[in-house]
Structure 1
């Protein structure tokens, strides 16, 4: 036995040593690559004065170029800048990819063993200095100060490129509950708000616009200038993983809230204090076949059994476009049978040029969803309908379709090859550059892309936090209140299950032993199916079943039958819970609200006013029989769209 242990120890030690040596080898390699990239950069841009006008000499030629002159017409500035750009610089502007930062706000140049994502992504110097990219979306942020420092360091690196074109930083939603790979990045130092579905429950356009304005201020303070949201999709398919990111299954409600949201972030027109919205996912990503998400091959099809394609356009035509959204993102899926060829939205010329550009007159930036050309470590390329094409052919088809930018990609080499071969004309690239640069100029990035690291108090300030709490209170929906069990009187003892810790300080009614409780409060997350594919990302995408497995349901019912029970449904998607509903004395629909706010409702600190933005189906059979593209059409829903009680 000792001999076996000794041999095992030697083997494990050898493996550890080999891994350490490999990491040291790559660390040296990464340092050399970073140093080589940095050598490509020039001097910082000096600030000069010409005839009383101060400007940043971005191309360092000692002269005031038109594109550097804030007094000049934006279209002239764009023309002047494009005329000075080489093909490498032009190609770099067509891509946006993810970047990491270090805990202290330093640029992430050396991948870390402690952060697997840093191993998967290129470094800032590789993309900025070498590939001339100037668009990035940021992942998790340690602190407000670190984020501000990181923005300034990244902008300084971009300034040292030949033409000094500033970087545009984009972000997924940050004001919600938590981190979900590829969809949202809950940020603890921002104000906390309900999910978009919860905003739909408020029905309050003024509140949603106010959220947009608060989100804008928090973003701008840190240098985040493009919102990869809102989602104007409709939650007409209850199994779809991304229901919580929508406002509703009702197109007209979603349109009103989408418009308010965009106006909050952008203002009445895009300017130096705005955040540009990249509204998604054109032409409506909700009607996923069988509810399976289009990130993955299993969900590549969007279907319209109710012939309801135009219904999904309403949040765009009556919402996003009326608010002049700056940018649009199509989804991954194939609109089956709706166009002349069954290919994904971003590859589909009928959708991008025919519908979006020509019919609807949209002349802003169109950016593809992430990784539809090349495989990523977390998922294969979502090149639906064009799987047989090479990566270079995919890029050509995206540009031919009418898209301007490619998300989650950094394959500038493919564009350069297409230009060299004459497969794509430089004029075609220039037309996309005009739209892309127009937003950079409107946002004022050429004048000043830096943020004040000493003035970050606006981020997550008490006023914003309180507004977020107000929205959470308005978002909660009281579904059932048998015999007016709610609100509870303050002398009632409660036992909580499924809620966070630390609530006892504010609610001394909480007891640790269920036998001492008068009432049980259980919070339930929406069930989901296990992943069917091998993609790492699929483990984070909750889709499929909406009902609890029998063993889990029996456990929930057993708890509900011990004492009078209040059930809180965390509405990531609408759960199928007829038995649990029947066993509960009261039921509350929660849309990523803080547990403290939920308990405030239960003890009557405020009167619930939310109304369901989606229906809650009565059975999985009803879910399977409803049509993916049609709203509120499941048979005999447990709770219909618009349901919501109050204490009055």
Structure 2
């Protein structure tokens, strides 16, 4: 299943279409067709036995081009959009389409004025076979009755059967009927397969991008003598998990708790025993106590904006967790920096691209004058604190475990080396790279913006149109940048990837129904 079709990532102001505030996928650069490339050139032309994607999940958002307000069809979420879905069907693709979750009665962008059975009928008529997160047979029957009333029983039953056929086609292709059972011994052998584990470890190593390496801090076999490395303790406040449930406050090493002394000799802060941990329970090592440390390693997350994914409601998370959305106004800037940010500069849009909402009511979604903050500003504070206590000659290595791009201007000048990867890379993989056991080979898949002005000046739908951050060594954190032990990587991959980005599919003609 390939997702999310089409335009996910071009949400207005960088917001999230899981919530009401991010419901518009905007194309100020007129670049809608570029967002079709992964589906029409990619999913329809796979280098595999299947040859094509088996299924597609549409996004929640409403496609909107301010240069042609009605050119991308009806102002409804992608699964409801005849314009969007017809692009797939007009290529001859016969796969199954499954909506994103809660689209019938939770996140029905553009369809709020319709009853649930009407939404269901519209999806059925748009060749949508499955409705993510929903099981409502009674609603389905009401929708079918509406279809019979509108188009007659022959047409309604034909539509129903076609949608059912596509579901069964997917199930048959993975043999859910012919062989519905699994063999425990075979499953165990697959799970414990050493070749598969080695492949996974190699993939993790290759996913790590070395962004900075001043003075060749990270070098081949650089820690073979197991030097002393300071890894500070980190306090994490109590919180609720994403799907509910309380997470207690914790104090733990910020990196490598399960790798202690495997690649280096670990030195860490003193922690007092406490039933209710707090920052006060940590006694930081002094510069004198760190005198014989050669390195320090601090692991952080990218800045986590306080309003990312929670602006406006109902959202996917408010539906799942049963919580109420934050009261309006919903229009907050989304920051990629650690320190608080206020969007009161001239480069911030004072009016949203579309001055009305999907129901035709006036609505200015500009964030001008509004403020936001990162919930993990303490990550930056930890790095700066560690830097202030390190003895001369001790090198600070920063590990960034990220889920989106970020601004580096606040943190890069204080560290000697940076290794960066998106979520899912193991700490052992980071350790292999940091210790010099494995040479870093990863390349940035996104540009890292110079600052928040660059973030706001970028057009949501246009790739590689920002000024990247340039670090103290003069390296630009641009798309396809990465370092290895010898310096900036320049190989066959970079020659391929640095080609101009595609702005329209090359293998399929884009044909959309009105």
User: Which interval holds the TM-score relative to the shorter structure?
Assistant: 0.5 to 0.7
Aligned residue among 300, 317, 328 for 1:537: 317
Who is 1:306 aligned against?
29
Counterpart in the other structure of 1:447? 178
In structure 2, distance between residues paired with 1:349 and 1:578? 44
The answer on 1:645 being equivalent to 2:421 is: no
Q: Deviations over 1:479-532 (max 9, x none)?
A: 111111223333431112422422114134211245332221111101122234
Is 1:331 equivalent to 2:59 in the alignment?
yes
Q: CA deviation at 1:332?
A: 0.4
After TM superposition, the runs of 4+ consecutive aligned structure 1 residues lying more than 4 A away are 533-536, 538-541
In the alignment, is residue 409 of structure 1 matched against residue 189 of structure 2? no
Residues 210, 482 of structure 2: 8 Å contact kept: yes
> What CA distance in whole angstroms lies between the structure 2 residues aligned with 1:314 and 1:582?
38
Q: Judging changes above 3 Å, is the alpha-carbon distance between structure 1 residues 461 and 326 closer, same or farther for their aligned structure 2 residues?
A: same
Name the SS for the 1:579 alignment partner: coil
Contact 1:349 1:402 in 2 (8 A): no
Query: 2:144 matched to 1:419?
Result: yes
> Could you report, residue by residue, the CA deviation over 1:272-315 in whole angstroms, capped at 9, with x for unpaired residues?
xxxxxx11111231111111111110110000111111111111
Rounded Cα–Cα distance in structure 1 between residues aligned with 2:41 and 2:255: 39
Question: Is it true that 1:499 corresponds to 2:255 in the alignment?
Answer: yes
Match of 2:205 among 458, 473, 484: 473
Unaligned runs of 5+ in 1: 1-277, 375-380
TM-score (norm 2): 0.67
**CA distance change for structure 1 residues 287 and 511 in 2, over 3 Å: closer, same or farther?**
same
In 1: Cα distance, 2:468 partner to 2:9 partner:
22
TM-score, normalising length from structure 1? 0.53
Report what 1:571 is aligned to: 402
The one-character-per-residue Cα deviations of 1:326-364 (angstroms, maximum 9, x if unpaired) are 1111100000144231110001111112x1112x22111
| CA positional deviation for 1:536 | 7.5
Structure 1, residues 409-450: CA drift from partner, whole Å, max 9, x if none?
A: 111112212334524711110111222222222222222211
SS in 1 for 2:413: helix
Residues 546/510 of structure 1: CA separation in 2 closer, same or farther (3 Å cut): same
Query: What is the match of residue 85 of structure 2?
Result: 352
User: What is the match of residue 267 of structure 2?
Assistant: 511
Equivalent position to 1:621, from 446, 453, 458: 453
Cα pair 2:255 2:427 within 8 Å, conserved: yes
**CA spacing shift, 1:394–1:604, aligned 2, 3 Å:** same
1:317 to 40, 45, 57: 40
Name the CA shift for 1:476/1:384 in 2 (closer, same or farther; >3 Å): same
**1:287 paired residue number:** 10
- Counterpart pick for 2:339 among 537, 540, 549: 549
Equivalences, count: 362
Aligned counterparts of 2:133 and 2:171: Cα–Cα separation in 1: 19
Secondary structure, counterpart of 2:433 in structure 1: helix
Q: Is the 8 A contact 2:447 2:464 kept in 1?
A: yes
Do residues 428 (structure 1) and 159 (structure 2) align? yes
Alpha carbons of structure 1 residues 280 and 394: separation in structure 2 relative to 1, 3 Å? same
CA distance in 2, matches of 1:386, 1:614: 34
Given the alignment of the two structures, is residue 483 of structure 1 paired with residue 218 of structure 2, yes or no?
Answer: no
The CA distance in 2 between the partners of 1:466 and 1:443, in whole Å, is 26
Per the alignment, in what secondary structure is the counterpart of residue 187 of structure 2? coil
Name the structure 1 match of 2:118: 393
Q: Conserved in 1, the CA contact under 8 Å of 2:387 and 2:396? A: yes
Conserved 8 A contact 1:494-1:518: yes
Tell me which of 547, 553, 560 is aligned to 2:387: 560
* Stretch deviating more after TM superposition (514-523 or 314-323): 514-523
Structure 1 segment 354-393 matched on structure 2, within 5 A: 355-358=87-90, 360-374=91-105, 381-393=106-118
Bigger RCO of structures 1 and 2 (CA < 8 A, at least 6 apart): 2
Secondary structure (helix, strand or coil) at the match of 2:298 reads strand
Displacement of 1:579 in angstroms is 2.8
State the secondary structure of the residue aligned to 1:570.
strand
The SS at the match of 2:411 is helix
CA RMSD of aligned residues (A): 2.2
Say yes or no: does 1:607 pair with 2:335: no
Distance 1:385 1:533 in 2: 15
Cα deviation 1:69-115 (Å, max 9, x = unaligned): xxxxxxxxxxxxxxxxxxxxxxxxxxxxxxxxxxxxxxxxxxxxxxx
How far apart, CA to CA, are the structure 1 residues paired with 2:231 and 2:192? 29
Question: Equivalent of 2:75, from 342, 346, 352?
Answer: 342
Match of 1:569, SS? Answer: strand
- Deviation for aligned residue 1:562: 2.8
Residue segments in structure 2 that go unaligned for 5+ positions in a row: 47-51, 233-253, 270-284, 326-332, 341-376, 471-476, 487-514
Q: Give me the whole-angstrom Cα distance separating, in 2, the residues matched to 1:418 and 1:607.
A: 58
Contact 1:523–1:567, Cα closer than 8 Å, also in 2: yes
Q: Once the 2 structures are TM-superposed, how far is the Cα of residue 620 of structure 1 from its aligned partner?
A: 1.3
Conserved 8 A contact 1:528-1:544: no
Q: Aligned pair in 2 of structure 1 residues 474, 383: CA closer, same or farther (>3 Å)?
A: same
Contact 2:447 2:468 in 1 (8 A): no
Shift of 1:317: 1.4
Pairing 1:594–2:399 present: no
User: Are the structure 2 counterparts of residues 554 and 454 from structure 1 closer, same or farther at C-alpha, using a change threshold of 3 Å?
Assistant: closer
